[in-house]
Structure 1
Amino acid sequence: MLLFPGISSGGYAITSLTITFFALVLIMFVLRLDYTRLQMASSYILSVATLLFIHLKFERSREFFFSYVPGGLAGELAHVPNVRWHRIETPDTELKGEDAVVVDLHVDHDPRWESAITKWVLAGIPLYDARLAKEQLTGRVEINHLYENTLGSLNPNNVLLKAKSVLDFFISALLILLLLPIMIVIAMLIKLDSPGPAIFRQRRMGFRAKPFTVYKFRTMYAAGETRDAEALLQSAMTKDGDARITRFGRILRRTRLDELPQLFNILRGDMSLIGPRPEAVALSEWYETQIPFYHYRHIIKPGLTGWAQVNQGHVTDVNDVREKLNLDFYYVKNYSIWLDILIALRTIAIVFTGTGAR
């Protein structure tokens, strides 16, 4: 099944190529064979790019064939796209060519079903718990109750987070040096397009619920900052035709170039390149009163882009915020370098196409 929605074997392809190229370089070094570093590096990058393109273009569209044991959450998965579902009517049913069997392991099944499940596992047929299958197929983690392992599963690996912080610092510093001329031009165009400051500042909720000041290019007509949750909610749920957005601001929002000043937030350590998007302090506090467990999204640094941003459209009501939270929980629970690579690739596609941007 999918390791991550949209990446699955893509992660294995990158790992395999990296190990192969490292082994090749090691062999050449030990045997003192001549090789060109530039050619080796370019070959590696080209190989990774080619395999990822093939994977993202073709494999993601593949339809899975899953059978499921009736009972509990398993029967609710029939609406999940890109999967052909087959209901197993009786324990004696012979399986034919299924990619996997899905069963809700939190349900007490009849002994005949338990015997059949054991038989399928011994036959080498992959078996997935319905909750895990739903998470991996949809890219969402829904938390309606706190189970014994909920908090543990939402605590990301501290070693990976520290390594990620170091990478964030160096990558953001490099991007600032490269993009500073573009940011200066954008700031000048904002000033010419409408009166007001080029940079928008706002207090937002950050890592471990500690507020910080976020920087963005202004995309709306200048107005004083407010701490009213309802006004902030309306501001967060802007639509394409919103009259408050300036002409140049529409271009910045569509390409997400309005987020570039947040590179300085990343350099300061307030944010990460990839993570849940930070919300205004007053709005975050209001969400906590409306949505159970909302505050757990602060268990990881907020990001310039994230899993929710590349998978969700415009936020138009509280239900969309709940959906965004489910996506954030999925990222926190399944954080890895490969998931970050997938998010980065999708973000680049959004910058150049405008598809999915807000």
Structure 2
Amino acid sequence: MQEKKFKDLSTASRSLLLVEFFILIGALALALFLNDQFNFVDQKQLLLSQLFVHALIFGFCHLLTALSLGLYNSKIRDNFVRLVQREVISFAIGFSILFSFALLFSWYQIAIELIALASFLAFLGILVLRYIAQKTALFGFQKRRVVVLGAGERASIIEKRMRRKVDRQGFSLLGFVPMEGDMDGGIVNEHKLSSDLSIVHYALENEINEIVIASDERRNNLPIEELFACKVRGIEITDILDFIERETGQIAVNLIYPSWVIYSSGFASPNYLRNALDWVFNASMAFVLLLFTWPFMLLTVLAIKLEEGPSASVFYHQVRVGLNGKLFKIVKFRSMREDAEKDGVKWAKTDDDRTTKVGAFIRKYRVDELPQIYNVMRGDMGFVGPRPERPEFVETLVDEIPYYNERHNVKPGLTGWAQLKYPYGATTEDAMEKLKFDLYYIKHRSFTLDLLILIRTAEVVVFGKGR
């Protein structure tokens, strides 16, 4: 069974297994060397041939347990925390087996304490290797080998939006397979494969991990039998929308079709306790934030007065669209001139010439948002969520951008996924891009994601990365 598992491993996984085997043997040798230097335990001197046999047993035992737990399966997409958990279980089982060897067989002559030390040293060494492999795609491990079915308009979003190496850290793209019905003006510079190739044979010969479905015309057009054969062989079949969502942290609004939304997971929080305690949680956090930030708020008031005079207004009230389309008044420190909208409503933008000197500073460090603590305490907003827009803009955007109104299905927030991922929006196109991130947040909304957004927002404030 284990032999079959080894034969099924990819070249990258086999390379990793070989390196880890040498780490295991090296860890045992290091444990014996340290014992010779510091005399931890009484250990009989071993002949070179005996040491070789014991090292092989030690290495193979730990490798077989790791192999059984799928630690060399390149299709497993564990994050580093999950990987550590698997490694802990693997080494615990491996050590238990070696412990049994030491008790049952008199010829196994390495002290149990040194087996434990060697296992610990190997555990640390392998974790370091795995971390480096995951971060740098060493051996190509954890980097999926992907082929795309389709070379038309839908497929071209990969070429247009994921051109840089940093956009493709998680996968290697081998090429696009043109499909019947693909629209013109699709893939231009990427490698195109033959439209007549056998998907199954190509996938097996090239160790493909994932096939992305991105054809423009799907009805009676997909090679269902071949895709089925790939699926049962463990190759992942992914829709282009799910692929873009996973790799970019946004939902491609222009590619959405209703059935994808209907059958897709997410878009609703199953945490009823969180929903019930939503206001209590947000109001409590707002009160704590107020205790820490009131000196900065006071300094902001004084700075605005010093720049624009004692009679200058400090706060800015503006009507915004909240949960389920309900209107409310947002409160902010005024960052623009008092006559900023004398010519009508305009989008806020980066380096806005209507911004005052103090306003530019408090925008950069997000201090202008602090008075919205009041809105959070009132229940108009939460800490995390889509930023509320003005009704004048919403009315236009709902007509021009599909699914725009869906962002009002959750409470707006002081900060959000879109604010971290995209700068100030000044056009309808910018609103479309921000919506892609907002929909991703709505679909994946969870305490963990909220915590990540809050941590990254703190980084923006501390290091002045506001855009």
Which TM-score bucket, shorter chain as reference? 0.7 to 0.9
**Separation (CA, whole Å) in 2 of partners of 1:283 and 1:9:** 42
Q: How many residues align?
A: 308
2:261 aligned to which of 143, 150, 156: 150
2:324 aligned to which of 208, 233, 237: 208
**Structure 1 residues 163-207: Cα deviation after superposition (integer angstroms, max 9, x where no partner):** 444321211111112222221222121111224211111111111
- Correspondence list, 1:303-342, <5 A: 303-342=413-452
- Correspondence list, 1:128-207, <5 A: 128-144=238-254, 147-148=258-259, 150=261, 154-157=267-270, 159=272, 160-195=274-309, 196-207=312-323
1:86 aligned to which of 164, 174, 177: 174
**Separation (CA, whole Å) in 1 of partners of 2:133 and 2:395:** 42
1:292 aligned to which of 402, 409, 424: 402
What's the TM-score once normalised by structure 2's chain length?
0.58
For 2:145, the aligned partner's letter is F
Q: Is the 8 A contact 1:220 1:245 kept in 2?
A: yes
**Separation (CA, whole Å) in 2 of partners of 1:109 and 1:146:** 17
Q: Is the 8 A contact 1:155 1:299 kept in 2?
A: no
- Correspondence list, 1:212-223, <5 A: 212-223=328-339
**Separation (CA, whole Å) in 2 of partners of 1:247 and 1:59:** 44
For 2:409, the aligned partner's letter is I
**Separation (CA, whole Å) in 2 of partners of 1:58 and 1:253:** 39
Task: Indicate the SS of the match to 1:349.
Answer: helix
1:324 Cα deviation (Å)? Answer: 0.9
What RMSD in Å do the two structures reach over aligned CA positions? 3.4
1:247 aligned to which of 357, 374, 392: 357
**Separation (CA, whole Å) in 1 of partners of 2:360 and 2:240:** 42
Q: Is the 8 A contact 2:340 2:354 kept in 1?
A: no
Sort the Cα spacing of 1:90 and 1:151 in 2 relative to 1 into closer, same or farther, 3 A: closer
Corresponding position of 1:77: 158
**Separation (CA, whole Å) in 2 of partners of 1:273 and 1:130:** 32
Deviates more, 1:60-69 or 1:269-278: 60-69
1:67 aligns with 2:146: yes
1:126 Cα deviation (Å)? Answer: 2.8
Task: Indicate the SS of the match to 1:223.
Answer: coil
- Correspondence list, 1:42-61, <5 A: none
Q: Is the 8 A contact 1:156 1:300 kept in 2?
A: no
Q: Is the 8 A contact 1:68 1:103 kept in 2?
A: no
Task: Indicate the SS of the match to 2:258.
Answer: coil
Sort the Cα spacing of 1:146 and 1:65 in 2 relative to 1 into closer, same or farther, 3 A: closer
Q: Is the 8 A contact 2:320 2:389 kept in 1?
A: yes
Q: Is the 8 A contact 1:199 1:217 kept in 2?
A: yes
Sort the Cα spacing of 1:291 and 1:75 in 2 relative to 1 into closer, same or farther, 3 A: closer
**Separation (CA, whole Å) in 1 of partners of 2:320 and 2:362:** 21
2:373 aligned to which of 250, 263, 273: 263
1:344 Cα deviation (Å)? Answer: 1.6
**Structure 1 residues 255-300: Cα deviation after superposition (integer angstroms, max 9, x where no partner):** 1111111111111110010100011222222322332332221110
Q: Is the 8 A contact 1:66 1:102 kept in 2?
A: no
Task: Indicate the SS of the match to 1:107.
Answer: coil
1:114 Cα deviation (Å)? Answer: 2.8
Sort the Cα spacing of 1:167 and 1:13 in 2 relative to 1 into closer, same or farther, 3 A: farther
1:68 Cα deviation (Å)? Answer: 2.3
Q: Is the 8 A contact 1:202 1:225 kept in 2?
A: no
Q: Is the 8 A contact 1:194 1:221 kept in 2?
A: no
1:158 Cα deviation (Å)? Answer: 6.2
1:209 Cα deviation (Å)? Answer: 0.5
Task: Indicate the SS of the match to 1:85.
Answer: strand
1:107 aligns with 2:218: yes
Q: Which has the larger radius of gyration?
A: 2
**Structure 1 residues 12-40: Cα deviation after superposition (integer angstroms, max 9, x where no partner):** 66997xxxxxxxxxxxxxxxxxxxxxxxx
What's the TM-score once normalised by structure 1's chain length?
0.74
Q: Is the 8 A contact 1:68 1:74 kept in 2?
A: no
Identical positions, percent: 29
1:66 Cα deviation (Å)? Answer: 3.4
**Structure 1 residues 133-168: Cα deviation after superposition (integer angstroms, max 9, x where no partner):** 112212222345661463685344462433444321
